[in-house]
Chains A and B, each alone.
Chain A
Protein backbone atom coordinates (compact mmCIF):
# COMPACT_ATOMS: atom_id res chain seq x y z
CA UNK A 1 0.00 0.00 0.00
CA UNK A 2 1.31 3.49 -0.82
CA UNK A 3 1.72 5.88 2.07
CA UNK A 4 -1.21 8.03 3.11
CA UNK A 5 -2.25 10.38 5.90
CA UNK A 6 -4.86 9.09 8.30
CA UNK A 7 -7.49 11.36 9.89
CA UNK A 8 -10.44 10.40 12.07
CA UNK A 9 -13.62 12.46 11.66
CA UNK A 10 -16.44 12.32 14.19
CA UNK A 11 -19.10 14.16 12.15
CA UNK A 12 -20.06 14.39 8.49
CA UNK A 13 -19.22 18.11 8.50
CA UNK A 14 -15.75 17.43 9.85
CA UNK A 15 -15.24 14.70 7.25
CA UNK A 16 -16.30 17.06 4.45
CA UNK A 17 -13.93 19.78 5.62
CA UNK A 18 -11.00 17.36 5.97
CA UNK A 19 -11.79 16.04 2.48
CA UNK A 20 -11.83 19.51 0.96
CA UNK A 21 -8.46 20.41 2.46
CA UNK A 22 -6.81 17.15 1.33
CA UNK A 23 -4.91 17.01 -1.92
CA UNK A 24 -6.50 13.76 -3.10
CA UNK A 25 -8.46 12.50 -0.12
CA UNK A 26 -10.88 9.60 0.25
CA UNK A 27 -13.41 8.71 2.92
CA UNK A 28 -12.69 5.46 4.72
CA UNK A 29 -15.88 3.74 5.93
CA UNK A 30 -15.63 -0.01 6.56
CA UNK A 31 -12.59 -0.25 4.30
CA UNK A 32 -13.79 -3.57 2.85
CA UNK A 33 -13.47 -2.23 -0.70
CA UNK A 34 -11.09 0.70 -0.36
CA UNK A 35 -8.33 -1.09 1.60
CA UNK A 36 -8.12 -4.10 -0.76
CA UNK A 37 -8.03 -1.61 -3.65
CA UNK A 38 -5.21 0.34 -1.98
CA UNK A 39 -3.30 -2.85 -1.16
CA UNK A 40 -3.50 -3.78 -4.85
CA UNK A 41 -2.21 -0.27 -5.61
CA UNK A 42 -5.25 0.49 -7.71
CA UNK A 43 -5.91 3.51 -5.50
CA UNK A 44 -3.49 5.76 -3.65
CA UNK A 45 -5.34 8.55 -1.87
CA UNK A 46 -3.07 11.16 -0.26
CA UNK A 47 -5.35 11.25 2.79
CA UNK A 48 -7.84 8.86 4.36
CA UNK A 49 -10.68 10.36 6.35
CA UNK A 50 -12.00 7.63 8.63
CA UNK A 51 -15.73 8.11 9.35
CA UNK A 52 -16.13 4.92 11.38
CA UNK A 53 -16.25 6.98 14.58
CA UNK A 54 -18.96 9.35 13.32
CA UNK A 55 -21.86 8.23 15.53
CA UNK A 56 -24.34 10.55 13.75
CA UNK A 57 -23.83 8.48 10.57
CA UNK A 58 -24.82 5.24 12.28
CA UNK A 59 -28.16 3.69 13.18
CA UNK A 60 -31.51 2.48 11.89
CA UNK A 61 -34.91 4.04 12.46
CA UNK A 62 -38.13 2.44 11.32
CA UNK A 63 -41.20 4.66 11.27
CA UNK A 64 -44.54 4.37 9.55
CA UNK A 65 -43.71 3.26 6.04
CA UNK A 66 -40.04 4.25 5.91
CA UNK A 67 -36.72 2.92 7.11
CA UNK A 68 -33.84 5.36 7.50
CA UNK A 69 -30.37 3.85 7.67
CA UNK A 70 -27.24 5.85 8.51
CA UNK A 71 -24.43 5.61 5.98
CA UNK A 72 -21.98 4.05 8.49
CA UNK A 73 -24.41 1.29 9.52
CA UNK A 74 -22.74 -2.06 8.91
CA UNK A 75 -24.19 -4.95 6.92
CA UNK A 76 -24.30 -7.00 10.17
CA UNK A 77 -26.28 -4.26 11.94
CA UNK A 78 -28.83 -4.14 9.11
CA UNK A 79 -29.09 -7.95 8.99
CA UNK A 80 -29.57 -8.21 12.75
CA UNK A 81 -32.03 -5.35 13.41
CA UNK A 82 -35.22 -6.90 14.81
CA UNK A 83 -37.57 -4.00 14.09
CA UNK A 84 -36.30 -3.60 10.54
CA UNK A 85 -36.62 -7.35 10.01
CA UNK A 86 -40.28 -7.35 10.92
CA UNK A 87 -41.01 -4.34 8.66
CA UNK A 88 -38.69 -5.04 5.73
CA UNK A 89 -37.22 -8.57 5.90
CA UNK A 90 -35.95 -8.52 2.31
CA UNK A 91 -33.43 -5.79 3.16
CA UNK A 92 -32.13 -7.67 6.23
CA UNK A 93 -31.78 -10.85 4.19
CA UNK A 94 -29.86 -9.00 1.48
CA UNK A 95 -27.45 -7.47 4.02
CA UNK A 96 -27.00 -10.85 5.74
CA UNK A 97 -25.75 -12.40 2.52
CA UNK A 98 -23.16 -9.79 1.57
CA UNK A 99 -19.68 -11.28 1.73
CA UNK A 100 -18.96 -13.16 4.94
CA UNK A 101 -19.38 -12.41 8.68
CA UNK A 102 -16.09 -10.51 9.01
CA UNK A 103 -16.87 -8.36 5.96
CA UNK A 104 -20.36 -7.70 7.35
CA UNK A 105 -18.91 -6.54 10.67
CA UNK A 106 -17.03 -3.70 8.93
CA UNK A 107 -18.64 -3.02 5.53
CA UNK A 108 -21.30 -0.30 5.37
CA UNK A 109 -24.30 0.65 3.28
CA UNK A 110 -22.84 4.09 2.51
CA UNK A 111 -19.56 2.60 1.31
CA UNK A 112 -21.36 0.09 -0.87
CA UNK A 113 -23.50 2.79 -2.51
CA UNK A 114 -20.61 5.23 -2.99
CA UNK A 115 -18.58 2.50 -4.62
CA UNK A 116 -21.43 1.23 -6.87
CA UNK A 117 -19.71 -2.00 -7.87
CA UNK A 118 -21.67 -3.47 -10.81
CA UNK A 119 -22.07 -6.71 -8.83
CA UNK A 120 -22.94 -5.18 -5.44
CA UNK A 121 -26.17 -6.04 -3.63
CA UNK A 122 -27.37 -2.78 -2.01
CA UNK A 123 -27.72 -0.85 -5.29
CA UNK A 124 -30.46 -3.33 -6.29
CA UNK A 125 -32.43 -2.66 -3.08
CA UNK A 126 -32.01 1.11 -3.38
CA UNK A 127 -33.08 1.25 -7.03
CA UNK A 128 -35.68 -1.49 -6.54
CA UNK A 129 -37.51 0.41 -3.82
CA UNK A 130 -36.93 3.91 -5.19
CA UNK A 131 -35.04 4.95 -2.06
CA UNK A 132 -33.48 8.36 -1.45
CA UNK A 133 -29.79 8.90 -0.80
CA UNK A 134 -29.08 11.85 1.48
CA UNK A 135 -25.72 13.57 1.53
CA UNK A 136 -24.25 16.50 3.41
CA UNK A 137 -25.49 18.65 0.50
CA UNK A 138 -28.78 17.26 -0.88
CA UNK A 139 -31.20 14.37 -1.34
CA UNK A 140 -30.75 12.24 -4.46
CA UNK A 141 -33.49 9.94 -5.79
CA UNK A 142 -32.28 6.42 -6.63
CA UNK A 143 -33.35 6.89 -10.26
CA UNK A 144 -30.89 9.81 -10.56
CA UNK A 145 -28.09 8.35 -8.47
CA UNK A 146 -26.59 5.36 -10.32
CA UNK A 147 -24.60 6.45 -13.38
CA UNK A 148 -22.97 3.21 -14.55
CA UNK A 149 -20.20 0.93 -13.30
CA UNK A 150 -18.51 2.50 -10.25
CA UNK A 151 -20.10 5.86 -11.21
CA UNK A 152 -22.64 7.81 -9.17
CA UNK A 153 -24.16 11.29 -9.01
CA UNK A 154 -21.96 12.12 -5.98
CA UNK A 155 -19.73 15.16 -6.44
CA UNK A 156 -16.14 15.15 -5.25
CA UNK A 157 -16.15 15.74 -1.51
CA UNK A 158 -19.81 14.81 -1.04
CA UNK A 159 -20.54 12.59 1.98
CA UNK A 160 -23.49 10.17 2.05
CA UNK A 161 -25.23 10.59 5.41
CA UNK A 162 -28.25 8.27 5.22
CA UNK A 163 -30.57 6.29 2.97
CA UNK A 164 -34.35 6.46 3.26
CA UNK A 165 -36.23 3.41 2.02
CA UNK A 166 -39.97 3.45 1.43
CA UNK A 167 -41.01 0.09 2.96
CA UNK A 168 -42.70 -2.02 0.28
CA UNK A 169 -45.76 -4.23 0.91
CA UNK A 170 -43.74 -7.21 -0.28
CA UNK A 171 -40.20 -7.59 -1.52
CA UNK A 172 -37.49 -10.14 -2.15
CA UNK A 173 -33.86 -10.24 -3.28
CA UNK A 174 -32.54 -13.22 -5.21
CA UNK A 175 -28.77 -13.44 -5.47
CA UNK A 176 -27.07 -15.94 -7.73
CA UNK A 177 -23.60 -15.87 -6.22
CA UNK A 178 -20.53 -15.86 -8.39
CA UNK A 179 -18.81 -19.02 -7.16
CA UNK A 180 -15.42 -17.46 -6.34
CA UNK A 181 -16.09 -13.95 -5.06
CA UNK A 182 -19.64 -14.63 -3.82
CA UNK A 183 -20.67 -11.22 -5.16
CA UNK A 184 -23.83 -11.33 -7.29
CA UNK A 185 -23.28 -12.96 -10.69
CA UNK A 186 -26.80 -11.65 -11.08
CA UNK A 187 -29.05 -10.30 -8.34
CA UNK A 188 -32.68 -9.20 -8.67
CA UNK A 189 -34.63 -7.09 -6.17
CA UNK A 190 -38.41 -7.01 -6.59
CA UNK A 191 -40.56 -4.61 -4.53
CA UNK A 192 -44.35 -4.35 -4.61
CA UNK A 193 -46.14 -1.38 -3.13
CA UNK A 194 -49.78 -0.28 -3.36
CA UNK A 195 -49.45 1.53 -6.67
CA UNK A 196 -46.49 -0.07 -8.44
CA UNK A 197 -43.93 -2.84 -8.75
CA UNK A 198 -40.23 -2.15 -9.25
CA UNK A 199 -37.60 -4.62 -10.44
CA UNK A 200 -33.88 -3.78 -10.16
CA UNK A 201 -31.09 -5.95 -11.51
CA UNK A 202 -27.45 -5.98 -10.38
CA UNK A 203 -24.45 -7.99 -11.58
CA UNK A 204 -25.73 -8.34 -15.13
CA UNK A 205 -25.26 -5.17 -17.13
CA UNK A 206 -22.13 -3.36 -18.24
CA UNK A 207 -24.00 -0.20 -17.23
CA UNK A 208 -24.33 -1.38 -13.61
CA UNK A 209 -27.63 -1.71 -11.76
CA UNK A 210 -30.76 -1.13 -13.92
CA UNK A 211 -34.55 -1.38 -13.79
CA UNK A 212 -36.26 -4.08 -15.87
CA UNK A 213 -39.22 -1.93 -16.87
CA UNK A 214 -40.99 -4.53 -19.06
CA UNK A 215 -41.24 -6.84 -16.09
CA UNK A 216 -42.42 -3.96 -13.89
CA UNK A 217 -45.32 -3.29 -16.27
CA UNK A 218 -46.42 -6.94 -16.40
CA UNK A 219 -46.05 -7.43 -12.65
CA UNK A 220 -47.96 -4.24 -11.84
CA UNK A 221 -51.11 -5.77 -13.31
CA UNK A 222 -50.44 -9.37 -12.27
CA UNK A 223 -47.94 -9.97 -9.46
CA UNK A 224 -47.20 -13.62 -10.21
CA UNK A 225 -44.17 -15.44 -11.57
CA UNK A 226 -46.31 -16.50 -14.56
CA UNK A 227 -46.83 -12.87 -15.55
CA UNK A 228 -43.21 -12.62 -16.69
CA UNK A 229 -42.96 -16.19 -18.05
CA UNK A 230 -42.95 -14.92 -21.63
CA UNK A 231 -40.59 -11.99 -21.09
CA UNK A 232 -36.88 -12.01 -21.75
CA UNK A 233 -33.97 -9.60 -21.52
CA UNK A 234 -31.59 -8.94 -24.39
CA UNK A 235 -28.05 -10.20 -23.91
CA UNK A 236 -26.81 -7.00 -25.58
CA UNK A 237 -24.72 -5.02 -23.10
CA UNK A 238 -24.67 -7.84 -20.52
CA UNK A 239 -21.39 -8.61 -18.75
CA UNK A 240 -19.57 -11.61 -20.26
CA UNK A 241 -16.76 -13.24 -18.32
CA UNK A 242 -15.45 -16.69 -17.43
CA UNK A 243 -18.21 -17.09 -14.84
CA UNK A 244 -21.04 -16.61 -17.34
CA UNK A 245 -21.55 -15.08 -20.76
CA UNK A 246 -24.07 -12.38 -21.65
CA UNK A 247 -26.85 -14.74 -22.67
CA UNK A 248 -26.42 -16.77 -19.46
CA UNK A 249 -26.74 -13.61 -17.40
CA UNK A 250 -29.73 -12.39 -19.44
CA UNK A 251 -31.49 -15.70 -18.81
CA UNK A 252 -30.69 -15.49 -15.09
CA UNK A 253 -32.38 -12.09 -14.90
CA UNK A 254 -35.69 -13.65 -15.94
CA UNK A 255 -35.27 -16.75 -13.76
CA UNK A 256 -34.31 -14.78 -10.65
CA UNK A 257 -37.10 -12.24 -11.16
CA UNK A 258 -39.64 -15.06 -11.24
CA UNK A 259 -38.13 -16.57 -8.09
CA UNK A 260 -38.15 -13.19 -6.33
CA UNK A 261 -41.83 -12.64 -7.16
CA UNK A 262 -42.71 -16.12 -5.92
CA UNK A 263 -40.77 -15.57 -2.67
CA UNK A 264 -41.75 -11.94 -2.03
CA UNK A 265 -43.03 -11.28 1.50
Chain B
Protein backbone atom coordinates (compact mmCIF):
# COMPACT_ATOMS: atom_id res chain seq x y z
CA UNK B 1 0.00 0.00 0.00
CA UNK B 2 1.06 3.58 -0.61
CA UNK B 3 -0.43 6.70 0.87
CA UNK B 4 -1.17 9.23 -1.86
CA UNK B 5 -2.49 12.78 -2.05
CA UNK B 6 -3.44 14.57 -5.23
CA UNK B 7 -5.75 17.23 -6.56
CA UNK B 8 -8.51 16.01 -8.85
CA UNK B 9 -10.59 18.66 -10.61
CA UNK B 10 -9.42 21.20 -8.07
CA UNK B 11 -10.34 19.14 -4.98
CA UNK B 12 -7.76 17.55 -2.70
CA UNK B 13 -8.20 13.76 -2.54
CA UNK B 14 -6.11 10.90 -1.23
CA UNK B 15 -5.92 7.71 0.71
CA UNK B 16 -4.13 4.38 0.84
CA UNK B 17 -3.96 2.64 -2.51
CA UNK B 18 -2.70 -0.78 -3.56
CA UNK B 19 0.70 -0.49 -5.24
CA UNK B 20 -0.63 -2.05 -8.43
CA UNK B 21 -3.67 0.23 -8.64
CA UNK B 22 -3.89 2.12 -11.92
CA UNK B 23 -4.72 5.81 -11.95
CA UNK B 24 -7.90 5.04 -13.91
CA UNK B 25 -9.01 2.59 -11.20
CA UNK B 26 -8.44 5.23 -8.54
CA UNK B 27 -10.44 7.75 -10.57
CA UNK B 28 -13.34 5.44 -11.44
CA UNK B 29 -13.56 3.09 -8.49
CA UNK B 30 -12.29 5.09 -5.53
CA UNK B 31 -13.43 8.58 -6.56
CA UNK B 32 -16.44 7.29 -8.52
CA UNK B 33 -15.70 9.66 -11.39
CA UNK B 34 -16.86 7.33 -14.13
CA UNK B 35 -16.65 9.76 -17.04
CA UNK B 36 -13.12 8.49 -17.73
CA UNK B 37 -13.56 5.26 -19.67
CA UNK B 38 -11.55 2.08 -20.15
CA UNK B 39 -11.86 1.00 -23.75
CA UNK B 40 -8.98 -1.36 -24.34
CA UNK B 41 -6.78 -1.65 -21.28
CA UNK B 42 -3.86 -2.24 -23.68
CA UNK B 43 -2.82 1.44 -23.90
CA UNK B 44 -4.10 1.95 -27.42
CA UNK B 45 -7.59 3.47 -27.51
CA UNK B 46 -7.29 6.72 -25.52
CA UNK B 47 -10.75 6.47 -23.88
CA UNK B 48 -8.98 6.87 -20.51
CA UNK B 49 -7.09 10.09 -21.30
CA UNK B 50 -6.93 12.59 -18.42
CA UNK B 51 -4.60 15.50 -17.77
CA UNK B 52 -1.82 15.02 -15.22
CA UNK B 53 -0.02 18.26 -14.38
CA UNK B 54 -1.52 19.75 -17.53
CA UNK B 55 -0.50 16.96 -19.92
CA UNK B 56 -2.70 14.34 -21.60
CA UNK B 57 -1.84 10.83 -20.38
CA UNK B 58 -3.50 7.45 -20.58
CA UNK B 59 -4.72 6.86 -17.04
CA UNK B 60 -4.80 3.10 -17.69
CA UNK B 61 -1.03 3.26 -18.20
CA UNK B 62 0.02 5.09 -15.05
CA UNK B 63 -0.02 3.90 -11.46
CA UNK B 64 -2.12 5.81 -8.92
CA UNK B 65 0.96 5.85 -6.67
CA UNK B 66 2.96 7.55 -9.42
CA UNK B 67 0.40 10.39 -9.48
CA UNK B 68 1.07 11.25 -5.82
CA UNK B 69 1.26 15.04 -5.59
CA UNK B 70 -0.11 15.61 -9.07
CA UNK B 71 -2.88 17.83 -10.34
CA UNK B 72 -5.33 15.71 -12.28
CA UNK B 73 -8.18 16.91 -14.49
CA UNK B 74 -10.82 14.51 -15.75
CA UNK B 75 -13.74 15.07 -18.11
CA UNK B 76 -15.88 15.99 -15.07
CA UNK B 77 -13.56 18.91 -14.38
CA UNK B 78 -13.48 20.74 -17.70
CA UNK B 79 -16.88 22.48 -17.67
CA UNK B 80 -16.96 25.65 -15.65
CA UNK B 81 -20.68 26.24 -15.19
CA UNK B 82 -21.14 26.27 -18.96
CA UNK B 83 -19.83 23.54 -21.22
CA UNK B 84 -16.17 23.87 -22.15
CA UNK B 85 -15.75 25.14 -25.76
CA UNK B 86 -14.48 21.67 -26.70
CA UNK B 87 -17.59 20.00 -25.27
CA UNK B 88 -19.84 22.54 -27.00
CA UNK B 89 -18.04 21.97 -30.30
CA UNK B 90 -18.63 18.20 -30.10
CA UNK B 91 -22.28 18.97 -29.44
CA UNK B 92 -22.52 21.48 -32.33
CA UNK B 93 -20.79 19.23 -34.87
CA UNK B 94 -22.30 15.88 -33.96
CA UNK B 95 -18.81 14.79 -32.91
CA UNK B 96 -20.07 11.67 -31.18
CA UNK B 97 -22.42 8.79 -31.69
CA UNK B 98 -22.31 6.26 -28.86
CA UNK B 99 -20.13 8.61 -26.82
CA UNK B 100 -17.81 5.98 -25.39
CA UNK B 101 -14.63 7.51 -26.83
CA UNK B 102 -15.79 11.08 -26.26
CA UNK B 103 -14.27 11.83 -22.82
CA UNK B 104 -10.86 10.80 -24.14
CA UNK B 105 -11.39 12.70 -27.39
CA UNK B 106 -12.26 15.85 -25.48
CA UNK B 107 -9.31 15.57 -23.09
CA UNK B 108 -6.94 14.92 -26.02
CA UNK B 109 -8.57 17.73 -28.00
CA UNK B 110 -8.07 20.27 -25.20
CA UNK B 111 -4.47 19.11 -24.73
CA UNK B 112 -3.59 19.47 -28.42
CA UNK B 113 -5.17 22.93 -28.69
CA UNK B 114 -3.30 24.09 -25.57
CA UNK B 115 0.03 22.76 -26.86
CA UNK B 116 -0.34 24.23 -30.34
CA UNK B 117 -1.33 27.60 -28.91
CA UNK B 118 1.61 27.61 -26.49
CA UNK B 119 3.99 26.85 -29.35
CA UNK B 120 2.31 29.31 -31.72
CA UNK B 121 1.60 26.60 -34.30
CA UNK B 122 -1.57 26.24 -36.37
CA UNK B 123 -3.70 23.22 -35.67
CA UNK B 124 -4.95 22.42 -39.17
CA UNK B 125 -6.92 19.37 -40.20
CA UNK B 126 -3.83 17.28 -40.97
CA UNK B 127 -2.34 18.16 -37.57
CA UNK B 128 -5.57 17.23 -35.75
CA UNK B 129 -5.65 13.86 -37.50
CA UNK B 130 -2.02 13.20 -36.61
CA UNK B 131 -2.59 14.29 -33.01
CA UNK B 132 -5.56 11.91 -32.72
CA UNK B 133 -3.40 8.88 -33.45
CA UNK B 134 -3.89 7.56 -29.90
CA UNK B 135 -7.68 7.98 -29.76
CA UNK B 136 -9.84 5.35 -31.39
CA UNK B 137 -13.51 5.83 -32.26
CA UNK B 138 -15.58 2.93 -33.54
CA UNK B 139 -18.56 5.01 -34.58
CA UNK B 140 -18.00 8.35 -36.21
CA UNK B 141 -15.36 7.82 -38.87
CA UNK B 142 -13.56 10.78 -37.25
CA UNK B 143 -14.71 13.53 -39.66
CA UNK B 144 -17.00 15.21 -37.16
CA UNK B 145 -14.47 14.79 -34.36
CA UNK B 146 -11.91 16.64 -36.47
CA UNK B 147 -14.49 19.35 -37.24
CA UNK B 148 -15.34 19.68 -33.54
CA UNK B 149 -11.72 20.09 -32.47
CA UNK B 150 -11.15 22.54 -35.27
CA UNK B 151 -14.10 24.69 -34.16
CA UNK B 152 -12.98 24.61 -30.52
CA UNK B 153 -9.43 25.54 -31.51
CA UNK B 154 -10.83 28.77 -32.90
CA UNK B 155 -12.75 29.50 -29.70
CA UNK B 156 -10.31 28.49 -26.97
Contacts and interface: CB of A to CB of B under 8 A. Distances in A.
A103 B43 contact: yes
Interface in B31-58: 41-44, 46, 49, 55-58
Contacts of B135: 100
In this complex, which of A35, A38, A40, A80 has the most chain B Cβ atoms within 10 angstroms of its Cβ? A35
Interface stretch (B7-15, B60-68, B95-103, B137-145): B60-68
B41 A39 contact: yes
A140 to B, nearest CB: 28
Nearest to B18: A3
Contacts of B68: 8
A93 B20 CA distance: 34
Most buried by A among B41, B42, B43: B43
B61 A1 contact: no
A31 B66 contact: yes
Contacts of B108: 101-102
B50 to A, nearest CB: 9
Contact of B56 (A28, A48, A52, A102): A102
Given A40-B42, A101-B112, A106 B2 contact: no
A4 B19 contact: yes
B66 A28 contact: yes
Interface in A60-104: 76, 80, 99-103
A6 interface: yes
B63 A35 contact: yes
B61 A106 contact: yes
A138 interface: no
Given A4-B20, A80-B119, A103 B134 contact: yes
A237 to B, nearest CB: 29
Contacts of B62: 31, 35, 106
Interface in B100-137: 108, 111-112, 115, 119, 131-135
B46 A100 contact: yes
Contact of B66 (A52, A80, A103): A52
B61 A31 contact: yes
A2 B133 contact: no
Residue with the highest number of chain A CB atoms closer than 10 Å, among B44, B55, B63, B112: B63
A35 B43 contact: yes
A32 B20 contact: no
Contacts of A76: 55
B66 A105 contact: no
Contact of B19 (A3, A99, A101): A3
Nearest to A100: B134
Given A6-B2, A50-B65, A102 B57 contact: yes
Given A52-B66, A101-B131, 16 more contacts: A3-B18, A3-B19, A4-B20, A5-B19, A6-B2, A31-B61, A31-B66, A35-B61, A36-B42, A39-B41, A100-B135, A101-B112, A101-B115, A102-B56, A181-B44, A182-B133
Interface of A: 1-6, 8, 28, 31-32, 35-36, 38-40, 48, 50, 52, 76, 80, 99-103, 105-106, 181-182
30 contacts: A4-B20, A6-B2, A6-B63, A8-B66, A31-B62, A31-B63, A32-B43, A32-B61, A35-B43, A35-B62, A36-B61, A38-B20, A39-B41, A39-B42, A48-B19, A76-B55, A80-B119, A99-B133, A99-B134, A100-B132, A101-B115, A101-B134, A102-B56, A102-B57, A102-B108, A103-B43, A103-B134, A105-B57, A106-B57, A106-B58
Q: Which 4 residue pairs across A and B have the least CB separation, nearest first?
A: A100-B134, A6-B19, A100-B133, A105-B55
